[in-house]
Structure 1
């Protein structure tokens, strides 16, 4: 007798009747299958229930052990560090932490008033750390990209003059000679540029036609010019004056300012106005921290910049020692890069199309290579700090305006004397074009 038949006899004696042919007792195979279904499912359910209980008990035991372990470690740490807050190391760390917190307190302005700054910034730091981990793990599956090419720096070839303090200033001349010049232009270059930039796109035939003598020079520490530690905008204007005298430029000359180079052109209008015939400015930079700017002017200035550029200005203003790290990752890395990324620009479609052309790429690579010739981050840090520090003047001081009576006696005198008041500021022409900048 098989086990199916044996099981059928036992089940059949219970009096249970299942539907079958003619209402009789079910066949042995059917009853066996039914019995197998009942008992098999019940045993399987019991097995699953037992496994779940065991897993739950194991998890509870593990959690209890970890909790006890944590309490033990906390007690050991508390006993080991008892009285450590009075140690010399703790006092030094406390002072450094307080000083760092004071310097970073300005960031609390971006938090809601009801939020705890410590908890908020700890949360931000934790989220940033996790995000970096995720990006790090995810970067392994990225498609490999072409490695950037190295910057090729040619041999020194600039003409140089020696300044009264012993420094050398590298320069380049374009256009007509000194004896044929009708207009003399001096052009201080912008950030991450050099004397080789000149005026991008201008033809030599155009300079010849209008009798223009264009002189460009390397700022201190850029290209082949010697560094000048502690330079400011007053010394920048003096460099232009000494350059004009050394090259026999007539009594007055024009200054050209482009983007970040406009800062040095403004300084010439302020400190050597008697030698300046006029100024041509192309999207000149204004000091975003100028105390005489209105709130609306300051807001419009900051809104016109990309987020990365705002960050670089904030670092230059508050944490300039961090700038060399960013510079060595980009234009001081010895490799070629894109101006939109290196200069934190937000360009339109037409500008991007221009940057992709072979003519511009050749010009950009040659100009940047000359700019970083010395491989030193300090001149670039000095230039960035100058842009956001106290210039020693405001743009409103350069604007032509009537001199106001400042003292009491001058005011009384002006009431009785109807003579026209003296004009102050730069009295020559200033032409400004607001265009999209490719160099900052």
Structure 2
């Protein structure tokens, strides 16, 4: 392994502008330089090994350093390193991956459109919702309902559907066509003496009241993640998704399901739609579609959604949208091989088999004096940390996460939650290693504050 000199860190501070950081703070502190990866582990430029407890960014299903993906990328680079899908042209990898996704889809789907990120996919899906409304002559049916704490990306439309203030402040978002309904996290927003069933009823009432207040004739679509990932692994209460779909059907509102984090095995089923009985009109996929070895995302749409759009393109003469890298041959070749690996190695089954151990370890750690509660599904979970009385909101989770990194595990703090989403290849022994390190980190924080 080649060790990058420490001077690399200073060069990074000087020239690279990072996403999702306090830029002034980063100028002073710098960050960790990751040099290489192998399986569930990554290594920094000083040779320290970490368990990647968030699979990069919720995404590296098959682990780091998978030789089959490297070889497929190399072979495709030699054969056809780039071509587009504009103007009636295409190529083999995008055709094969589209066919595979249609066959895998949790509900009948008609077409697949490729983009390069979850943000791009959600943004385009929103444009397509508006395009479809125009095609049907519903010129006023353009509003989109997102959810408080929902996350769908950071482009202008996707960032507007997102329900996180940090993605809105100083960006002049959200757009005025975007409205947000209540966050269905019982652990955070359940009222005193309110049962989970009553909480679900209140969440559904909030949604229907919002639709009526805005005017059903103006609301085109509802956006939701089966489990709200970047909001802090927020679980839907019992009966929530069944009730949401009933309301949307009542008012003829499209359902767009964002499985950018949940898709391809994370919840113990190939899709979280299967876990929660969701039947989307549009399904947004990314991250684990290629294990993020290449930038790739996909929009799957049913015939109800697609046909009016096709009709409108015929009337206008063209579907006036496209990205240079849509359906990129190397990205789609890697995605195709990645999904074959997930199937051949039964990584979805691995998530299902390890779910009990994964969630039990989290639940046991929730009894720690520093912790509050735990939650999760499959290999997606969070440990809620008790807020510090003498600190800002979120500082407790950040403190534990920093202690955990010293113990050789990378996780992510969201609010007061520490989120875990390890590669799907993780073993039972490695789960214990990860959570043993978390216990040591919790002990260290408790001792430091004693």
Relative to the length of structure 2, the TM-score reads 0.26
- Structure having the larger proportion of residues in helix: 1
Q: Which has the higher contact order (CA 8 A, sep 6+)?
A: 2
Q: Which has the larger radius of gyration?
A: 1
Relative to the length of structure 1, the TM-score reads 0.26
- Structure having the larger proportion of residues in strand: 2
